[in-house]
A and B are shown apart, each in its own frame.
Chain A
Amino acid sequence: MAGSGNAHLRPEALLSARDLVVEFPAAGGRTVHAVSGVSLDLEEGETLGLVGESGCGKSTTGRAILQLPRPTSGTVQLDGQELTELDEDAIRDVRPRLQMIYQDPISSLNPRRRVRDIIAEPLFIALENVSRRTAMAVWQDRIGELLQNMLRRASGVMRIVGLLASVAFVLWILSETVEERAAEPWLGWTQVPAAVIGFPSLALLLLAAAIALLLGLTWVLLAVMLPFSLMSRQFGEVSSAVGLAGVVVTTGASAFLLWRTWSSFGGWAQWLNSGGLSLLTAVLAVWLVLSMVKPERAGASGVATTLSAMVVLQVFYVAGLDGGIKLAVLVASAVIDTLLFRWVLRCYRANRDAERERAEPRVREVLEYVGINPDDALDRRPWEFSGGQAQRLSIARALVSVPQVIICDEPVSSLDVSVQAQILNLLEDLKNLMGLTLVFIAHDLAVVKNVSDRVAVMYLGKLCEVSEPDAMFAQPAHPYTELLLAAIPQPDPEAELGTERIGGELPSPMDPPSGCRFRTRCPLAAERCAAEEPEMREIAPGRFVACHTPLIGEPAPARVDLATNAEGAS
């Protein structure tokens, strides 16, 4: 009965989990023993069915294999690589090889995103994770990319003019000297909003400048310490030089701005009045450039926020000017800002579209695999699909990163019978086509039998029986398996309704029974079952069971001399 042991494990497995234990803390300092020593393995191209009632820990086992959350103890090896010892970063790189399909297809797809983005997300994530790891290279690439983008994008003269004009604008503001402005009284009410914006955003901006300074300094230090030739071999000479130059300039600029801020600091009022606004604008400009370096990372909203803040500051400048020139400057800066906005948005869109474009062929291919017409589906959102179609999308997302193992967590339980058949056939086809290895978690034995090469029955965090499906279903070895079989509804009015039912409730996983965990509901339970936990053992070729008195084969050799309930075995 529900017991431990590793007799059923094979040496040549693609995925092998040994003695998995998952425990959660519960209220009152108690512990939920969700999975207590489960060992499973999968050979390449095999489907393992994992069956049990809800609350038996089958889903938790699946997630523990994915390290989400990590198991309390035990080991998981994928292709010889030990997953439980990997750090978070390394695990992220492994995850694309280990995918999952969920019970509720609708809730497993983000309702706000379009199908094209949902399916391509694994590719984007992989890209991001790879680029993060080489953060230095990315810093450099960002600047290089910006310059390239600028050249490529700034096809119209207007855009160049716009850029030059805004640079000139910033310079003009910077050129206002401290003395000039210090003579005026501070904070006429027209400047009040400027101060309001300035007060909190100043802190943020100074922080941003300081971070930019620190990052820049680190980079420069690194660059000095590493031989330049080493970098250029890796990243190409030109882009290294450009990157270095860019960073030096940015660092210098932030240092200068910080210094100016500090030196002119003398109370908020004086500071704001004496060129503080100029500084703010300048810092914003730097921030803007930094976020434009990789707009798709900063996000359109990030760039837009920065720009808006700049626009607001401009307005306040304008408000402080004398009447006559006011309107002219206002209109001019509005034009400049509009151009800037459009330019940044275009860069952002261009980057996003390029990313999408690169991903699209793969997305289309995968959608076709799962039987969804990409032309119809790409721009729709998940809730526009029926449950069965959404489950196909979920499968497509799992396939896009070419996984080795897919864990299917009750993938057909919430679907209509007719749709269920479609999904089961699809999984079978994909498995044959792509050589997938599947873990198929379900509570319906008939479904599990249909897809599996090997079936493992779980009860309350332990394994009961592991066997070939045909043999298991013809003659179950574990009393629990037999009861599960009896519960399957037969689509035949003349079939006997199984009358044997599992009585009672699943015991609490916070306080599992001693010995065999199934003994409290087992019709064959004997004294031995309470005292001694059964070990997994082979009772027939390819059939493993953890039970003292299995329904077929010999009773377990007694370790403790207790009366065994042998007459229960048949």
Chain B
Amino acid sequence: MRKRLGFVFWLAVVYLVVLALAAVFADVLPIKDPAETFPGTSKQGPSLSHWFGNDGVGRDVFSRVIYGAQVSLVISTVGTVLALIIGGLLGMVSGYYGSRVDRWLTATLNASLVIPPLILFLALVLFLDSEAKRRIFILVFTFVLLSIAPIARVVRAATLSWAGQDFVLAARTLGARDGRVLFREILPNVAPSFVSYSLIIMAGLIVVEGSVAFLGLSVPPPTPTWGDMINKGRTNLDVAAHISLMPAIVMFVTVLALNFVGDKLQQYFEPRESVL
């Protein structure tokens, strides 16, 4: 009885892969320069030469969306991967060792949940990066800091339930060290749940970048970001909705695809099929 991932899943994966490849190779792809202004094309709708139309100053929206994906993808992947490594480790250690280690870690993580994300971000921007030179570090740093606790909690819960299973005890009676038990026995069981969860976090980070851009605090121009593009297009919403709409659609589809892939993977990795 083989489980199937389904057509939509592969569609989502292909979309994400194409988007990522386009972003990585944007420099060498035959697309327009995102900074170039094409005279007389301001606020023009989609056309054959400019697929997604042009923005308020006549730049090509399509190429800006592709370049904008660089920032979105880097922020979300780097943020998620780091949060995953740190949060996952903390969660596993906390769930496996229990007792005092668990109490301290849980308390610390819960405390970190109390910090209002926006205020933390603003404070970091103000103190470390008032000239917007390292904005992307600050963004990633904040995102990582904020995603650690939720990831750690999910992983801790999963670890707790797996660590109680007899096969963990069995490994210990065989003389296995804690490291081996954690990485060989528990991690393969916990990993699917947090890998799929991380895709959902990733989607969340893309959206957060969008909201931060709305405050004008994302990566500064001339680097295009999706959030920034949506924000800038706001003023022309009545005459040229596509300026905001196109990046918004791409962002929406990306977030949807990530969520969908995450969900499907989680179902797929469920090791035991329901038996009658």
Does B170 lie at the interface of the complex (its beta carbon under 8 Å from any beta carbon of A)? yes
Name the residue of chain A whose CB is nearest to the CB of B189.
A112
Contact for A99 among B24, B140, B173, CB less than 8 A: B173
Which chain A residues in 30-74 approach chain B with CB under 8 Å?
66, 68
Contact for A129 among B137, B173, B177, CB less than 8 A: B177
Name the residue of chain B whose CB is nearest to the CB of A204.
B85
Which chain B residues in 256-276 approach chain A with CB under 8 Å?
271-273
Contact for B271 among A98, A197, A381, CB less than 8 A: A381
CB atoms of A109 and B136 under 8 A apart: no
Does A513 lie at the interface of the complex (its beta carbon under 8 Å from any beta carbon of B)? no
Stretch at the interface among A137-145, A188-196, A529-537: A188-196
Does B167 lie at the interface of the complex (its beta carbon under 8 Å from any beta carbon of A)? yes
Name the residue of chain B whose CB is nearest to the CB of A407.
B173
CB atoms of A195 and B137 under 8 A apart: yes
Specify which chain A residues have a CB less than 8 angstroms from the CB of B24 in the assembled complex.
Answer: 315
Given the interface pairs A112-B271, A326-B28, the reply to whether A66 lies near B173 with Cβ below 8 Å is yes
CB atoms of B170 and A397 under 8 A apart: yes
Per-residue contact bits, chain B 212-244, to A (CB 8 Å; 1 contact, 0 not): 000000010011000000000000000000000
Does A222 lie at the interface of the complex (its beta carbon under 8 Å from any beta carbon of B)? no
Closest Cβ of chain A: how far from B123's Cβ, in Å? Answer: 19
Specify which chain B residues have a CB less than 8 angstroms from the CB of A338 in the assembled complex.
Answer: none
Does B13 lie at the interface of the complex (its beta carbon under 8 Å from any beta carbon of A)? no
Closest Cβ of chain A: how far from B243's Cβ, in Å? Answer: 21
Does B175 lie at the interface of the complex (its beta carbon under 8 Å from any beta carbon of A)? yes
Please report the C-alpha to C-alpha distance between residue A512 and residue B71 in the assembled complex, in whole angstroms.
65
Specify which chain A residues have a CB less than 8 angstroms from the CB of B102 in the assembled complex.
Answer: none
Interface size on B, residues (CB 8 A): 39
CB atoms of B82 and A200 under 8 A apart: yes
CB atoms of B169 and A190 under 8 A apart: no
Per-residue contact bits, chain A 7-27, to B (CB 8 Å; 1 contact, 0 not): 000000000000000000000
CB atoms of B185 and A110 under 8 A apart: yes
Closest Cβ of chain B: how far from A115's Cβ, in Å? Answer: 13
Please report the C-alpha to C-alpha distance between residue A495 and residue B219 in the assembled complex, in whole angstroms.
85
CB atoms of A96 and B137 under 8 A apart: no
Contact for A98 among B74, B82, B173, CB less than 8 A: B173
Does B12 lie at the interface of the complex (its beta carbon under 8 Å from any beta carbon of A)? no
Per-residue contact bits, chain A 91-106, to B (CB 8 Å; 1 contact, 0 not): 1111110111011100
Name the residue of chain A whose CB is nearest to the CB of B179.
A128
CB atoms of A96 and B271 under 8 A apart: no
- Interface size, A (range): 35 or more
Specify which chain A residues have a CB less than 8 angstroms from the CB of B144 in the assembled complex.
Answer: 200
Closest Cβ of chain A: how far from B11's Cβ, in Å? Answer: 26
Given the interface pairs A110-B185, A330-B28, the reply to whether A383 lies near B272 with Cβ below 8 Å is yes
Per-residue contact bits, chain B 49-78, to A (CB 8 Å; 1 contact, 0 not): 000000000000000000000110011001
Specify which chain A residues have a CB less than 8 angstroms from the CB of B165 in the assembled complex.
Answer: 107-108
Closest Cβ of chain B: how far from A321's Cβ, in Å? Answer: 10
Does B133 lie at the interface of the complex (its beta carbon under 8 Å from any beta carbon of A)? yes
Does A319 lie at the interface of the complex (its beta carbon under 8 Å from any beta carbon of B)? yes
Which chain A residues in 290-348 approach chain B with CB under 8 Å?
299, 315, 319, 326-327, 330
Does B180 lie at the interface of the complex (its beta carbon under 8 Å from any beta carbon of A)? yes
Which chain A residues in 125-158 approach chain B with CB under 8 Å?
125-126, 128-129, 132
Contact for B167 among A94, A109, A122, CB less than 8 A: A109
Specify which chain A residues have a CB less than 8 angstroms from the CB of B75 in the assembled complex.
Answer: 196
Please report the C-alpha to C-alpha distance between residue A96 and residue B173 in the assembled complex, in whole angstroms.
8
Contact for A92 among B74, B166, B167, B175, CB less than 8 A: B175
CB atoms of B174 and A112 under 8 A apart: no
Please report the C-alpha to C-alpha distance between residue A132 and residue B134 in the assembled complex, in whole angstroms.
44
CB atoms of A190 and B133 under 8 A apart: no
CB atoms of A95 and B175 under 8 A apart: yes
Please report the C-alpha to C-alpha distance between residue A327 and residue B188 in the assembled complex, in whole angstroms.
39
Specify which chain B residues have a CB less than 8 angstroms from the CB of A100 in the assembled complex.
Answer: 169-170, 173
Q: Is the interface of B mostly helix, strand, loop or mixed?
A: helix
Given the interface pairs A195-B137, A199-B137, the reply to whether A68 lies near B173 with Cβ below 8 Å is yes
Given the interface pairs A92-B177, A125-B180, A326-B28, the reply to whether A110 lies near B167 with Cβ below 8 Å is yes
Closest Cβ of chain B: how far from A299's Cβ, in Å? Answer: 8
Does A269 lie at the interface of the complex (its beta carbon under 8 Å from any beta carbon of B)? yes
Please report the C-alpha to C-alpha distance between residue A92 and residue B180 in the assembled complex, in whole angstroms.
13
Specify which chain A residues have a CB less than 8 angstroms from the CB of B28 in the assembled complex.
Answer: 326-327, 330
Specify which chain A residues have a CB less than 8 angstroms from the CB of B103 in the assembled complex.
Answer: none
CB atoms of A96 and B174 under 8 A apart: yes
Contact for B189 among A111, A125, A129, CB less than 8 A: A111
Specify which chain A residues have a CB less than 8 angstroms from the CB of B8 in the assembled complex.
Answer: none
Does A401 lie at the interface of the complex (its beta carbon under 8 Å from any beta carbon of B)? yes
CB atoms of A195 and B136 under 8 A apart: yes
Name the residue of chain A whose CB is nearest to the CB of B166.
A108
Does A260 lie at the interface of the complex (its beta carbon under 8 Å from any beta carbon of B)? no
CB atoms of B174 and A102 under 8 A apart: no
CB atoms of A111 and B271 under 8 A apart: yes
Name the residue of chain A whose CB is nearest to the CB of B271.
A111
Given the interface pairs A66-B173, A110-B189, the reply to whether A102 lies near B166 with Cβ below 8 Å is yes
CB atoms of A383 and B271 under 8 A apart: yes
Name the residue of chain A whose CB is nearest to the CB of B220.
A189
Does A113 lie at the interface of the complex (its beta carbon under 8 Å from any beta carbon of B)? yes
Specify which chain A residues have a CB less than 8 angstroms from the CB of B134 in the assembled complex.
Answer: 195, 268
Specify which chain B residues have a CB less than 8 angstroms from the CB of A187 in the assembled complex.
Answer: 133
Specify which chain B residues have a CB less than 8 angstroms from the CB of A199 in the assembled complex.
Answer: 137, 140
CB atoms of A122 and B271 under 8 A apart: no
CB atoms of B136 and A269 under 8 A apart: no
Specify which chain B residues have a CB less than 8 angstroms from the CB of A102 in the assembled complex.
Answer: 166, 169-170
CB atoms of A121 and B171 under 8 A apart: yes
Specify which chain B residues have a CB less than 8 angstroms from the CB of A125 in the assembled complex.
Answer: 171, 174-176, 180
Please report the C-alpha to C-alpha distance between residue A102 and residue B136 in the assembled complex, in whole angstroms.
52
Specify which chain B residues have a CB less than 8 angstroms from the CB of A103 in the assembled complex.
Answer: 166
The 8 closest A-B CB pairs, nearest first, are A108-B166, A92-B175, A95-B175, A112-B188, A111-B271, A102-B166, A189-B223, A110-B167
- A95-B174, A125-B180 given; name 13 further pairs at CB < 8 Å: A92-B177, A108-B167, A108-B170, A121-B174, A121-B176, A125-B174, A125-B175, A192-B219, A319-B27, A383-B271, A383-B273, A397-B174, A401-B174
